[in-house]
Chains A and B, each alone.
Chain A
Amino acid sequence: MIEDRVLVWRFNRGDSAALCRIYEKYRDGLLKVAAALLNDRSGVEDILHDVFVDFAQTTGRFHLKGSLKGYLSICVANRARDMNRTRRRHNTSPDEVNVHPAATDGPEHAAISRELATKLDAAMMELPDEQRETLVLHLQGRLPFREIAKLKEISINTAQSRYRYGLDKLRSTLDGELTL
């Protein structure tokens, strides 16, 4: 946290090394958040590009209220939502562009079958944007509910409810298929 404050301080004074460091530090996490939120994952780098270009524009006047990771994650979520809507309007079929999760064993996480991953993909896409974002920001972005609530300007109860409803909806959609 203190490192981020220093980085933001330097960034606001036009230190390009600070921007590079922020990028290096959060790139992977933000890519994962974008990938989990986008219906078409080929757009993750575009999202990252737009978020960092927008962020770079705020130099000299950027005011960090919460965590930098939280702020950037929310920016990614907002961008992803916009991109999903735009592509939906252009009638892009998710089936044509979706990149399915890997079916290999993760070293730290239980692997899930390709079939279940595909179903989860589809189920995630069916979720309302706010529920999907809350699930991803909490589980993938590792943001606490308090921070999600603050950044989204909603109550912590609302954030928790969105999370619970999202999980409930996933479970009902995938009823009986959630055994790892």
Chain B
Amino acid sequence: MSYPRDTERSLKAYLANLNLPTPDGADADGKILADALTIMQKAKNQHAVHTSRMTWRTIMTSRMSKLAVAGIVVAAVLSSFGIFDSLTKPAWALTDTIEALRGFGAVHLIGAMPGKDGVETGVEVWARANKSRTGSKDMVVRYSNGVVLWVQGESTYTYMPESNTIRHVNAITAGAVHWLGPAMLEKLGKAKNSQVLYGTDPATGRRQATLLCVYFNMLRPQSYSITFDVETKLPIAMTVWYNQQDRRGNPSLRIWQITYYDDLPDSVFVVESPKDAHQVEKELTIPESKLAPLTDPRSGISAEGLDLEQASHRVLTQLYQAIQDGNLGEIRRLCPTVADWTDEMINTFLLAPEQRPAQPVEIRPICKQGQSKLGPLVVVPCLIKTQSGTVREDKMIVQFRTIDGKSSCVVPGPYGLPREIE
């Protein structure tokens, strides 16, 4: 489209040279802000601050995987919690930290976590972001007791030296749920009772800010202490307490060194395991303690007359259609593990543009089968083109059950983390 250029140019010059009548200057600003802040304060009192949120449940039975996930998630995501105390003038701010983190596509963490006997085990994590920097792609976690956990392609491996065994799971069960970017900001909504303290590292003399906050993951509190370097704005250390709101007792994870990289060579993520190690496939199951939501006869669809492939295809097609349509009732019915989520939680975590399919989802053949107390379990890969333009693969679990002699199936949730297709 072309416009009359001379007119456009003249108009631009006219607009650029407009004189603003601002005789009152700072007084006017003061009045506007004072009135706006008064109104804001009144409005604030009328609205309860909403903080409790949940994430889409990820079924992970490995404690190490959970902690590894927690570690990297915390480092890459929660480390960016901001300063919420509006009365102070911070030496750094959340926005600075986000900007500072933005340029880094890889991270290296060194720390420790308590083992079964309560003795701390050293842990080292290498992680690299996916292309869209919405989550992690590659990851290696090395424990000081010799256990190594790594993500390769769409599989997760754990080498256990005691048994000289490599446990394989054909899903990504360790990684960052969010890396850097707008999705991360959703996490910020979960911070509670945050407090910022300033100090100086006696060893280096550098100014530091420490953020203390509580974050609710699946309605369980986790306390965090995250230290930022004031000059670089980057998080440099962190401590996490699971199931704690007040940082009591031994921490669940301590990271005392965080190094950021633009990228890392592929070789960092290649793990050489002993040649004589034998590989075992991790069984697919759901612990009995988590089966209750899946037993409601009103949930799911009938699987009468259908084989596992046909029924799982049908229930997943319906579920993704419901997500695409934003049909909350249908989502709750087909995926009863989210039945008790509020509308806001479903909207935030399942219906965001980066989650929501833009077109019918490609349901692929079953890639894994297992069993729970309720009946057969299958895992089905689903290829999703999202409304935000990315393409990802979800591996979804379908639980079959027989209630009152009739076969039906429901979707408990994803098998591991989604994988971005680059």
Which residues of chain A are within 8 angstroms of B292 by Cβ–Cβ distance?
A: none
- How distant is the Cα of A53 from the Cα of B189 in the complex, in angstroms? 25
Partner of B40, one of A59, A135, A179: A59
Most buried by B among A31, A135, A167: A167
Contact status of A23 and B95, CB under 8 A, knowing A109-B13, A116-B10: no
Contact status of A19 and B20, CB under 8 A, knowing A2-B182, A60-B49: no
Asked if A16 is at the interface of the complex by the 8 Å CB criterion, the answer is: yes
Q: List 13 A-B contacts (CB under 8 A).
A: A6-B98, A6-B185, A7-B95, A36-B18, A41-B20, A56-B37, A56-B40, A60-B44, A60-B47, A101-B14, A139-B8, A164-B3, A174-B7
Shortest Cβ distance from residue B192 to the other chain A in the assembled complex, whole angstroms: 11
Shortest Cβ distance from residue B328 to the other chain A in the assembled complex, whole angstroms: 18
Which residues of chain A are within 8 angstroms of B44 by Cβ–Cβ distance?
A: 14, 59-60
Name the segment of B27-35, B108-116, B258-266 touching the other chain. B27-35
Name the segment of A43-51, A67-75, A81-89, A146-154 touching the other chain. A43-51
Which residues of chain A are within 8 angstroms of B33 by Cβ–Cβ distance?
A: 19-20, 23, 52
Q: For chain A, residues 158 to 172, give those with C-beta under 8 angstroms from any C-beta of chain B.
A: 160, 163-164, 167-168, 170-171
- How distant is the Cα of A110 from the Cα of B6 in the complex, in angstroms? 12
Size band of the B side of the interface? 35 or more
Asked if A3 is at the interface of the complex by the 8 Å CB criterion, the answer is: yes
16 extra A-B contacts, CB within 8 A, seeds A45-B32, A52-B33, A117-B14: A3-B98, A9-B188, A14-B40, A14-B49, A19-B36, A32-B15, A45-B22, A56-B39, A106-B13, A109-B17, A111-B17, A167-B7, A174-B7, A178-B6, A178-B7, A180-B13
Quick check: B4 and A56 within 8 Å, CB to CB? Answer: no
- How distant is the Cα of A111 from the Cα of B318 in the complex, in angstroms? 63
**Smallest CB-CB separation from A112: which chain B residue?**
B13
Which residues of chain B are within 8 angstroms of A171 by Cβ–Cβ distance?
A: 4, 6-7
Which residues of chain A are within 8 angstroms of B17 by Cβ–Cβ distance?
A: 101-104, 106, 109, 111-112, 117
Quick check: A111 and B11 within 8 Å, CB to CB? Answer: no
- How distant is the Cα of A124 from the Cα of B188 in the complex, in angstroms? 45
Quick check: B185 and A48 within 8 Å, CB to CB? Answer: no
Shortest Cβ distance from residue B343 to the other chain A in the assembled complex, whole angstroms: 14
Quick check: B8 and A120 within 8 Å, CB to CB? Answer: no
Asked if A95 is at the interface of the complex by the 8 Å CB criterion, the answer is: no
Quick check: B98 and A2 within 8 Å, CB to CB? Answer: yes
Interface string of B174-200 (1 = CB under 8 A from A): 000000011001001100000000000
Quick check: B19 and A10 within 8 Å, CB to CB? Answer: no
- How distant is the Cα of A168 from the Cα of B8 in the complex, in angstroms? 10
Which residues of chain B are within 8 angstroms of A174 by Cβ–Cβ distance?
A: 7, 10
**Smallest CB-CB separation from A61: which chain B residue?**
B47
Partner of A10, one of B41, B82, B181: B82
Measuring CB to CB, which residues of chain A are less than 8 angstroms from any residue of chain B?
2-3, 5-7, 9-10, 13-20, 23, 27, 31-32, 35-36, 41-42, 44-45, 48-49, 52-53, 55-61, 99-104, 106, 108-112, 116-117, 120, 135-136, 139-140, 160, 163-164, 167-168, 170-171, 174, 178-180
Partner of A13, one of B10, B16, B84, B95: B84
**Smallest CB-CB separation from B89: which chain A residue?**
A17
Asked if B367 is at the interface of the complex by the 8 Å CB criterion, the answer is: no
Please report whether the interface of chain A is mostly helix, strand, loop or mixed according to DSSP: helix
Which residues of chain B are within 8 angstroms of A31 by Cβ–Cβ distance?
A: 20, 22
Asked if B267 is at the interface of the complex by the 8 Å CB criterion, the answer is: no
Asked if B24 is at the interface of the complex by the 8 Å CB criterion, the answer is: yes
Most buried by A among B8, B36, B98: B36
- How distant is the Cα of A105 from the Cα of B72 in the complex, in angstroms? 56
Quick check: B86 and A15 within 8 Å, CB to CB? Answer: yes
Shortest Cβ distance from residue B19 to the other chain A in the assembled complex, whole angstroms: 5
Asked if B9 is at the interface of the complex by the 8 Å CB criterion, the answer is: yes
Shortest Cβ distance from residue B97 to the other chain A in the assembled complex, whole angstroms: 10
Most buried by B among A56, A117, A140, A174: A56
**Smallest CB-CB separation from A110: which chain B residue?**
B13
Which residues of chain A are within 8 angstroms of B18 by Cβ–Cβ distance?
A: 32, 35-36, 41, 101-102
Contact status of A167 and B13, CB under 8 A, knowing A60-B47, A99-B19, A101-B18: no
- How distant is the Cα of A120 from the Cα of B11 in the complex, in angstroms? 8
- How distant is the Cα of A49 from the Cα of B3 in the complex, in angstroms? 35
Quick check: B13 and A17 within 8 Å, CB to CB? Answer: no
Quick check: B47 and A109 within 8 Å, CB to CB? Answer: no
Which residues of chain A are within 8 angstroms of B15 by Cβ–Cβ distance?
A: 32, 36, 136, 139-140
Quick check: A42 and B13 within 8 Å, CB to CB? Answer: no
Most buried by A among B11, B47, B49, B182: B11
Quick check: B21 and A41 within 8 Å, CB to CB? Answer: yes
Shortest Cβ distance from residue B106 to the other chain A in the assembled complex, whole angstroms: 20
Contact status of A163 and B31, CB under 8 A, knowing A13-B49, A31-B20: no
Quick check: A57 and B19 within 8 Å, CB to CB? Answer: no
Quick check: B84 and A10 within 8 Å, CB to CB? Answer: yes
Which residues of chain B are within 8 angstroms of A58 by Cβ–Cβ distance?
A: 43
Partner of A112, one of B14, B19, B41, B47: B14
Asked if B308 is at the interface of the complex by the 8 Å CB criterion, the answer is: no
Which residues of chain A are within 8 angstroms of B32 by Cβ–Cβ distance?
A: 23, 45, 48-49, 52-53
